[in-house]
Copies of this chain bind each other. A is one copy, B any other.
């Protein structure tokens, strides 16, 4: 075995080839012919480092707004396809991401699906997401969850286009053949609770005495940027900074202390101006969305320069180093929750 492969394919002889053909007729295959493809010494993600410049994305988004209505599209989304995974509607090996546009006056009708969804607001004000009878206003930087199998609809009652990034676990749900979906009888669900109810009920380190946990998704479905941003600022002042992550906070489910969603981990981090992170890699391929600041990241040896609203991807087990020119805030998400639940996750910090 050389250093880069786990298994060397045996010699193919006429006799063996004939045998393989016979196996084929019985829905069988010879493991030794494919073992090198099935396993490897280290992860070999098909996804590659990638970066989308919002200057390119925005005109296309706006153009989509005139080409198709929210109603006809069901959801007007430009899917971010990893260049290594074209045609599969995936941004990493296990996750879907897209940018959704909703124009003033539009509604994205109510439906539900087993796939869990996150929304990270990129630009615009005046839109909302309704979940479980409560509407959450969308402001740039807010992180909003649509839990698995929960009816949800979106609307824009403001005066400007609103754009957010969607992140879903569709490839995971599909690998396990567990996808269900359903449309709501009407176009929108009735509003039964005042905005902010869930945050008041579950978001202040207190839980109602009658609360009983259901599922493992956070009952706080909207995490306002204002609060998260202030926490980052305080921690940056207190220090110390994490060498690989600066100040990095994970959004958690206040009823469990675990990740906000059972399949997807989500984070918000601050890299102070001038900060260079130490090289780091983990098995969870990660999608970043820039909220504030500019800088660059070196991903697998390749440099990607970013600024607000840009999106970039670090694949599994590929080294990443970040540099912030000015105070930068990055939102990120990955399948780490899934990997940890299944005992698969690894990380490695490379000390300089």
Chain A residues packing against B (C-beta within 8 Å): 1, 6-7, 10, 15-16, 19, 22-23, 26-32, 34-35, 37-45, 47, 50, 52, 56-57, 60, 63-64, 67-68, 72-83, 86, 89, 92-94, 96, 98, 111, 113-115, 148, 170-183, 193-194, 196-197, 200-201, 203-210, 213, 215-218, 220, 223, 227-228, 230-231, 234-235, 237-238, 242, 245, 247-257, 260, 262-263, 267-269, 283-285, 315-317, 335, 338-339, 341-346
- Tell me the complex Cα distance, A78–B83, Å: 34
- Tell me the complex Cα distance, A210–B346, Å: 14
- Tell me the complex Cα distance, A69–B260, Å: 49
Whether B316 lies near A254 (C-beta < 8 A) is: no
- Closest residue of chain B to A79 (Cβ to Cβ) is B29
Whether A204 lies near B180 (C-beta < 8 A) is: no
Chain B residues closer than 8 Å to A89, beta-carbon distance: 29, 31, 34, 37-38
Ordered by A's residue number, 24 sampled pairs between the chains whose C-beta atoms are within 8 Å are A22-B60, A26-B57, A28-B60, A28-B81, A30-B79, A32-B73, A37-B89, A39-B115, A93-B174, A93-B177, A172-B342, A176-B339, A177-B316, A204-B249, A205-B220, A205-B251, A206-B223, A206-B249, A209-B248, A215-B343, A216-B343, A252-B254, A252-B255, A256-B257
Chain B residues closer than 8 Å to A31, beta-carbon distance: 73, 75-79, 89, 98
Whether B170 lies near A209 (C-beta < 8 A) is: no
* Residue of A52, A215, A252 with highest tally of chain B CB at under 10 A: A252
- Closest residue of chain B to A229 (Cβ to Cβ) is B204
Q: Which of B32, B176, B341 contacts A94 (CB 8 A)?
A: B176
Chain B residues closer than 8 Å to A29, beta-carbon distance: 78-79, 81, 89
State how many angstroms separate the Cβ of A339 from the closest Cβ of chain B.
5
State how many angstroms separate the Cβ of A224 from the closest Cβ of chain B.
9
